[in-house]
C-alpha cells in the first residue's frame, strides 16, 4: 500500500503542464530557480511553487551551492540513459515517458 501511495503522489506531482516542463528541463542537469524562471518564461514565485510540489513528492532533489539552490531529478527516478531514452522516468510502480526537450544552454 505504501508504494502505491508514493507512486500516486509522484504521478500527481508531474500531472501539471508546467511541472512537466520543469521535469523535461531538468533531464539535462541541475538548474536554479532563476535558470528555470528564464527558461520557462514564468514568474519566480510560480516556478518556486511548482518546484516545492515536485520536491515534496520526491521527484526533484536539491543541492546548495553558496546562496543558490540547484534542483535536479531525484536519482531514483532519473531517466535511464542506458536504454537510450532520456525522457523515461521510473517511479518504481510504473514508468512515465515525459518526452525530450531541447538541451538547455
The pair phi, psi for residue 22, each rounded to 5°, is -65, -45
Could you tell me which CATH number the domain at 2-97 has?
1.10.10.10
Report d(CA 98, CA 44) in Å as an integer. 23
Residue 76 grid coordinates: 531514483
**pLDDT at residue 53 in the model:** 96
Please, how many CA atoms are within 13 Å of residue 82, restricted to the half-sphere of its CB?
A: 3
Q: Average pLDDT, whole number, for the chain? A: 84
| pLDDT over 90 (residue 5) | no
The 10 Å Cβ neighbour count of residue 37 is 17
pLDDT computed for residue 84 by the predictor: 53
Amino acid at each position: 500500500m505504501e508504494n502505491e501511495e508514493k507512486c500516486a503522489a509522484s504521478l500527481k506531482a508531474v500531472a501539471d503542464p508546467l511541472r512537466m516542463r520543469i521535469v523535461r528541463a531538468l533531464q539535462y542537469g541541475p538548474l536554479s530557480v532563476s535558470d528555470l524562471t528564464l527558461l520557462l518564461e514564468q514568474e519566480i514565485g510560480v516556478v518556486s511553487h511548482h518546484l516545492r510540489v515536485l520536491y515534496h513528492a520526491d521527484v526533484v532533489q536539491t543541492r546548495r551551492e553558496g546562496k543558490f539552490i540547484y534542483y535536479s531529478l531525484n536519482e531514483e527516478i532519473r531517466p535511464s540513459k542506458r536504454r537510450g531514452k532520456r525522457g523515461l522516468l521510473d517511479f518504481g510502480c510504473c514508468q512515465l515517458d515525459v518526452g525530450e526537450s531541447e538541451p538547455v544552454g
